Amino acid sequence: MIKKLALVALAALLLTTLAVAQDPSSVLKPPIGSHIAIVEFADLQCPQCAHTAPLIKQAVKTYKIPLVIYDFPLPMHNWSYQAAIFAHYFDSKSKQLGFDFRDYIFENQTQIYPTVLREFVEKFAAAHQMALPFVIDPQGKLAAEINASKAVGNEIHLDHTPTIYVVSNKGGQNRAVEVKQPQTELFQTIDAMK
């Protein structure tokens, strides 16, 4: 009987821990100083991410709220992980440059494949008067950042991109609402969270 109760208690504890780990509200928060933000898990090779990018950009501009991007390269996409490394490289120069690079990749996505990705990156760098180093991530720091982004997505059991949340900490309570139909729900969700 005692063993049975101990097993039931252990199972309840494990389920509670698992539920907390799966709750996006416990993981996703607005940046410090903001009460509301858009959080996007994106794959630079994902056609739907490219399609949704202008809408997210418009929402950020309209509401003057931050966008938090988690790179979540999907295994079936053969150049998305490398593109994410380049995005993090440009992020390290300036956040705006990282956003601009992601927009550029989305705009050119249909013309990119693994053997020409570097050419597109070099064109972007040249257009921004930057010299691109031969080796972008010699110590693996950028790859570690991407793996950390993926770990956050895995923690909330993410399985697709784009996955978009509107997150808020208004009233001292963290909330994260997934926007499943961005074209029709993104602005409404932001309004509701404000």
Query: How high is the pLDDT of residue 22?
Result: 63
pLDDT of residue 17: 43
Query: Residue 15: what pLDDT?
Result: 43
pTM of the model: 0.85
Residue 12: predicted pLDDT = 45
- What is the dotted CATH code of the domain comprising 2-193? 3.40.30.10
Secondary structure of residue 81 in the 3-state scheme: helix
In the chain, what are the domain boundaries? Answer: 2-193
- d(C-alpha 139, C-alpha 147), whole Å: 14
- Cα(3)–Cα(184) distance, integer angstroms: 52
From the number of C-beta atoms within 10 Å of its C-beta (0-12, 13-18, 19+), residue 75 rates as exposed
- Between CA 57 and CA 55 the distance in angstroms is 5
Helix (H) or strand (E) holding 137: none
Distances (CA, A) of 47 to 50, 73, 148, 159: 5, 12, 23, 15
Q: What local confidence, expressed as pLDDT, does residue 21 receive? A: 47
For each of the chain's 194 residues, which pLDDT tens digit applies?
454 433 344 444 444 444 444 688 888 999 999 999 999 999 999 999 999 999 999 999 999 999 999 999 999 999 999 999 999 999 999 999 999 999 999 999 999 999 999 999 999 999 999 999 999 999 999 999 999 999 999 999 998 999 999 999 987 778 999 999 999 999 999 999 88
